[in-house]
């Protein structure tokens, strides 16, 4: 069964009901050995595509991950990008904002770490937190000390959606391709993964009591995601809702979409023109002649 990225893409300006979107689908693999073969093939292709992006040096790829806790963001990044040259990739995890972040507009913290041309940038969470967790917890918005006029008409979320679309359109027009993943996990699967973290001493460090408290806001989070996905999925910055109850299946879907995105970018190794070829040939002769010098000296 072939993975079709369009099956997971959110249409622009669409109304989404996440309760109707599956968190678990028929797997694209037949058992663990087959999964490993498929993922290895994806990793190999990414390893071959990434140097073209780097050498071409005209475009960048920005990959964003958003999800409820324990949905598998870290594991997806680790497994999918395992074969890519780390010099060409940057991973940024966005945590609770400090005073320096709160002193700026909500996009500033992410803009300063955008990937350079030729590189792949991965955001583990992103400025989308500003229309998700901040929307669920109004006290976080109050901490940002925004002008009263910004808040008084109640349209702050629509305004932030506009700002996000404008930024992503700007990035796209300047060579950065954007692909965004929402890992859609069920509340029951999250519960099981939290229990697994508690039962495994090597995974205890991953557990945070705040994660359990946030489960009380599950419905509010789903409504925030629904509004966000529909308002900010565009041709130049599409969202993909990935069923995340099956981690291996989710990784195959994500890696396939990333591969298709890179394939669709106009990247290749720079072509050598006639003038440059002559220059390279001259340098080659110089280097080849250096290798003959010790032999000439030995004859004396």
Distance CA 161, CA 159 (A): 5
pLDDT of residue 294: 60
Q: Please say if the pLDDT value at position 127 is more than 70.
A: yes
pLDDT (average), residues 183-196: 97
Rounded mean pLDDT of 212-225?
96
Q: What is the pLDDT of residues 158-170, one digit of tens each?
A: 999 999 999 999 9
Give residue 162's Cα distance to chain centre.
21
| Residue 299: pLDDT over 70 | no
Band (pLDDT 50/70/90 cuts) for residue 277 is: confident
Res. 298: pLDDT tops 70: no
Between CA 251 and CA 257 the distance in angstroms is 10
CB 168 within 8 A of CB 236: yes
DSSP for the chain?
----GGGTBPPTT----GGGS-S----SSSHHHHHHHHHHHHHHHHHHHHHHHHHH-S-EEEEEEEESTTSSHHHHHHHHTTTS-GGGEEEEE--S--HHHHTS-TTHHHHTTPPPTT-EEEEES-GGGGGTHHHH-HHHHHTT---HHHHHTS-HHHHHHHHHHHHHHHHHHTTEEEEEEEEE--HHHHHHHHHHHHH-GGGGGG--HHHHHHGGGHHHHHHHHHHHHHHH--SSS-EEEEE-SSHHHHHHHHHHHHHHHHHTS---PPPP-HHHHHHHHHHHHHHHHHHHHHHHHHH-
Q: How confident is the model at residue 173 (pLDDT cuts 50, 70, 90)?
A: very high
Binned at pLDDT 50, 70 and 90, residue 1 comes out as: confident
Half-sphere exposure of 164 (CA within 13 A, CB side): 26
- Mean of per-residue pLDDT scores for the chain: 93
Tens digit of each residue's pLDDT (9 = 90 or more) over 84-99: 999 999 999 998 899 9
Instruction: Look at residue 211 in the predicted model and tell me its pLDDT.
Output: 84
Task: Give the pLDDT confidence score for residue 291 in this predicted structure.
Answer: 79
pLDDT of residue 292: 76
Query: In angstroms, rounded to a whole number, what is the distance separating the alpha carbons of residues 291 and 289?
Result: 5
Q: What percent of the chain has pLDDT over 70?
A: 97
């Amino acid at each position: 069964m072939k993975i079709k990225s369009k099956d997971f893409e959110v249409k622009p300006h669409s109304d989404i009901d996440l309760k109707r979107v599956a968190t678990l689908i028929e797997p694209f693999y037949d058992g663990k050995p087959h999964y490993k073969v498929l993922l290895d093939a994806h990793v190999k292709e990414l390893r071959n595509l990434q140097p073209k992006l780097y050498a071409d040096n005209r475009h960048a790829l920005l990959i964003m991950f958003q999800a409820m806790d324990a949905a598998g963001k870290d594991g997806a990044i680790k497994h999918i990008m395992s074969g890519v040259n780390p010099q060409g990739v940057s991973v940024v995890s966005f945590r609770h904002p400090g005073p320096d972040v709160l002193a700026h507009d909500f996009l500033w913290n992410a803009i300063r770490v955008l990937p350079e041309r030729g590189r792949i940038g991965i955001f583990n969470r992103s400025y989308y937190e500003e229309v998700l967790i901040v929307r669920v917890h109004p006290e976080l918005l109050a901490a940002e000390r925004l002008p009263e006029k910004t808040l008084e008409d109640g349209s702050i979320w629509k305004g932030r959606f506009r700002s996000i679309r404008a930024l992503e359109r700007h990035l796209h027009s300047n060579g950065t391709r954007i692909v965004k993943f929402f890992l859609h996990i069920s509340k029951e699967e999250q519960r099981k993964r939290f229990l697994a973290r508690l039962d495994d001493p090597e995974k205890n460090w991953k557990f945070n009591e705040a994660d359990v408290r946030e489960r009380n806001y599950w419905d509010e989070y789903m409504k925030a995601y629904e509004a966000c996905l529909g308002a900010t999925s565009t041709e130049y910055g599409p969202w993909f809702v990935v069923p995340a109850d099956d981690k291996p299946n989710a990784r195959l879907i994500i890696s396939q979409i990333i591969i298709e995105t890179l394939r669709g970018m106009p990247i290749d190794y720079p072509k050598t023109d006639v003038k440059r070829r002559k220059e390279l040939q001259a340098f080659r002769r110089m280097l080849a002649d250096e290798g003959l010098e010790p032999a000439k000296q030995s004859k004396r």
